Amino acid sequence: MESMQQAIAGHDGVAQSPADRKRTEEPMADDLFNVAGKVALITGGTSGIGRMIAEGYAERGVRTYITGRDFDRLQGIAADLSASTGGTCLPLVADLADPEGPARLVEAFGEREGKLDILVNNAGTGGNGPIETIDTSSWNAAMEVNLRAPFFLVQQALPLLRAAVAPGTYASVINLGSIGGLHVPNWEAHAYGASKAALHHLTRSLAKRLGRDGIRVNAIAPGPFHSRMTDTTSEAVKASVAAHIPLGRPGEADDVKGLCIFLASRAGAYVHGSTIALDGGYIAAL
């Protein structure tokens, strides 16, 4: 009799009801982090962080569009992601350095979908170089792709973002900034850093305006993740990570997948206007 009472008692000795026992025996199943059925558009989703995000959404039932300039390569990557995730990943060609690029992209997307739940402004370019040699072309390229394109994509996509909003359901814009926009690194990245710092500010100004429309806007400031711009396997990056990142490692796919799922789901419903450092503690430890 005593053993039976212990078996049905909780940790504090209070008897558990059958419903309580069922909850402790089975994993919790709710829709707090559920993003299935949503539609996402990820710019620059063919490599690096963008591809990681696209994979994370497609794995979880999000109808996911990725963009790039080379259609053959883009189509192949979208097909690979669909096959590997069991989800749906679709290609859309876009040149976001072109002033008309955002409008053309949204027009093409709107021909296929009637709403946009998640817009991820991930496409970016460099703009590094010493003050003595950086030219106006490099400066302008950083501002055009890293700053101008995200703003006008949001502007052009507003009807589609608003169409995704319902009582208790927000549309979500996620801007990919950088820790380079939160501090000044030990190398010269004047244009890149300025463009990302401006994108963080743009995130706040868009959040202030679009909250009333049910559109949440946040930014992620990643530390080192493997990409075209950062080779995390190089000895230089390994040494920097070991010296400056408290967690002692570069970012991994699940790190950015998890944060983007959070920001696009009901779990992140009250997060708005924030720039979140995803950097293993780098900025906090400065």
Give the residue numbers marked as catalytic: 192
Contact 40, 120 (CB under 8 A): yes
First to last CA, the chain: 60
Residues in the chain: 286
Question: Nearest CA to 118 among 220, 196, 1, 14?
Answer: 220
CA distance linking residue 40 with residue 120, whole number of Å = 8
Alpha helices in the chain (DSSP H): 2-7, 18-25, 48-59, 71-85, 101-110, 136-143, 149-163, 190-210, 235-244, 253-264
Tell me 224's DSSP state. Answer: -
